[in-house]
């Protein structure tokens, strides 16, 4: 596929930052002093060593040599050891066929990111021009809207199983949508993937992959944003597009290499994935308690679907066109926290909120 057709005008005009290139070379050859990169002398960094105690009582020690490295500027895409670990994780979990593609064909590429919001902003800015059509699930994550709206695109809110026009980009949260709590079925994912034959991109934002109460291992594998308990993030996608994201980061982000590399190497994939069942059982219990409260207090007064992943239950109140005042005034007066989502609907995150509507 010719991915250049999807680039925004700004992204297509962007060129490599020479300073960032020298930083990348410095990462590959730490013994070489790169004056052009503007990297400070690590002997004057304030931290020399560090020790972290894990929940199981074991410790991770960061010696002076490693501390100098992790406090220094890094290559834009992330330090090589971390990227290698993430590639192994992606291959183990998903084994995407694109891993064996050539770069021009859309070979799988990975870049470490600051967080999902930063990555969403960069992905949209490399792809979206004013006037482009972008499909979004309705309701959709507010952070996505805040990243898209300034770009001047046509945001089209549609259910995930109906497409009225052929867009340039579809953004979807496949598991435990925030705030709707919905998850795409395996059949729906296959249908969405088939639409790629019409030459548009699917951006998959999947922070709740490990919180699937009913596990379905079918993924679109174009972009993946992952936030697990470590609060780390990485971006996976076709190399021609990830390279453009990296170019964007070269001109907007100066990063250090302070990432949980040492912890991940200590844990390995097994150590990272072992707590998943325990965490998933906790959220299943929380979900069931939340559903029980909804059934007890709101049956007949509201509508909701049973979430199969994530942390969110989206509730639509019947016979009330606008619950803004109820939530902002009644709930606040009773000392109950609130989470406003798009004015007329509410994402309930704690059981006590149900009492506000009685």
pLDDT in tens, the chain (358 residues): 788 888 989 999 988 776 666 666 666 666 665 655 666 778 878 788 989 888 889 898 889 988 888 887 777 888 888 888 889 988 998 888 889 999 888 899 998 887 778 888 888 999 999 999 888 888 788 888 888 999 999 998 876 543 344 577 888 888 888 888 888 888 888 877 777 666 778 888 888 888 888 665 444 433 333 333 344 577 888 898 888 888 888 777 655 545 566 677 777 888 778 777 777 888 888 889 889 989 998 899 888 888 888 888 888 888 877 776 776 677 667 665 544 433 333 333 333 333 333 3
pTM score: 0.60
Query: What's the total number of domains in the chain?
Result: 2
Separation between Cα atoms, residue 130 and residue 151, nearest integer Å: 6
Do 284 and 263 fall into the same domain? no
Do 220 and 315 fall into the same domain? no
pLDDT of residue 67: 85
- CATH code where residue 104 lies: 3.40.640.10
Query: Which of 268, 292, 322 marks a domain boundary?
Result: 268
Separation between Cα atoms, residue 269 and residue 228, nearest integer Å: 13
Q: Is 53 within a domain?
A: no
Locate all alpha helices (DSSP H) within 58-154, ordered by sequence. 64-70, 80-93, 116-127, 142-148
CB 168 within 8 A of CB 127: yes
Q: Is 313 within a domain?
A: yes
Query: Which of 211, 243, 268 marks a domain boundary?
Result: 268
Give the domain extent around 119.
75-268
pLDDT of residue 154: 93
- List the structure tokens of 141: 């994550």
Separation between Cα atoms, residue 189 and residue 311, nearest integer Å: 21
Query: Which of 246, 268, 290 marks a domain boundary?
Result: 268
Among 109, 96, 142, smallest CA distance to 244 is for: 109
Do 234 and 317 fall into the same domain? no
Q: Is 293 within a domain?
A: yes
Separation between Cα atoms, residue 353 and residue 336, nearest integer Å: 7
* Residues β-bridged to residue 150: none
- List the structure tokens of 143: 């952070």
Which residue's structure tokens are 């590399």? 261
- List the structure tokens of 115: 């967080």
Could you give phi then psi for residue 70, rounded to 5 degrees? -75, -20
CA terminus-to-terminus distance, the chain: 55
């Amino acid at each position: 596929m010719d991915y250049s057709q999807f680039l925004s005008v700004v992204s297509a005009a962007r060129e490599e930052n020479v300073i960032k290139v020298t930083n990348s070379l410095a990462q590959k050859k730490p013994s070489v002093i790169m004056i052009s990169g503007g990297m400070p002398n690590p002997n004057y960094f304030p931290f020399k060593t560090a020790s972290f105690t894990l929940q199981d009582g074991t410790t991770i020690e960061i010696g002076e040599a490693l501390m100098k490295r992790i406090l220094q500027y890094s290559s834009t895409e992330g330090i090589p050891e971390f990227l290698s670990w993430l590639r192994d994780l992606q291959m183990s979990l998903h084994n995407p066929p694109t891993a064996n593609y050539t770069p021009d064909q859309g070979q799988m590429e990975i870049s470490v990111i600051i967080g999902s919001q930063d990555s969403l902003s960069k992905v949209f800015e490399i792809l979206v021009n004013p006037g482009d059509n972008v499909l979004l699930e309705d309701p959709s994550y507010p952070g996505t809207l805040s990243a898209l709206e300034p770009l001047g695109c046509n945001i089209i809110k549609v259910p995930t199983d109906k497409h009225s026009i052929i867009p340039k980009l579809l953004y979807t949260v496949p598991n435990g949508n925030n705030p709707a709590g919905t998850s795409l079925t395996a059949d729906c994912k296959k249908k969405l993937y088939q639409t790629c034959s019409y030459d548009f991109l699917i951006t998959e934002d999947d922070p709740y992959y490990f919180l699937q109460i009913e596990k379905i291992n079918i993924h679109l594998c174009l972009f993946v944003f992952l936030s697990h308990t470590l609060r780390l993030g990485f971006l996976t996608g076709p190399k021609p597009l990830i390279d453009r994201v990296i170019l964007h980061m070269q001109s907007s982000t100066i990063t250090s290499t302070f990432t949980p590399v040492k912890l991940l190497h200590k844990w390995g994939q097994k150590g990272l994935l072992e707590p998943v069942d325990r965490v998933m059982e906790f959220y299943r219990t929380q979900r069931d308690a939340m559903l029980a409260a909804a059934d007890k207090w709101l049956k007949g007064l509201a509508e909701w679907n049973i979430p199969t992943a994530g942390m969110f239950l989206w509730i639509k109140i019947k016979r009330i066109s606008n619950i803004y005042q109820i939530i902002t005034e009644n709930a606040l007066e009773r000392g109950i926290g609130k989470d406003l989502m798009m004015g007329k609907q509410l994402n309930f995150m704690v059981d006590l909120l149900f009492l506000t509507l009685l």
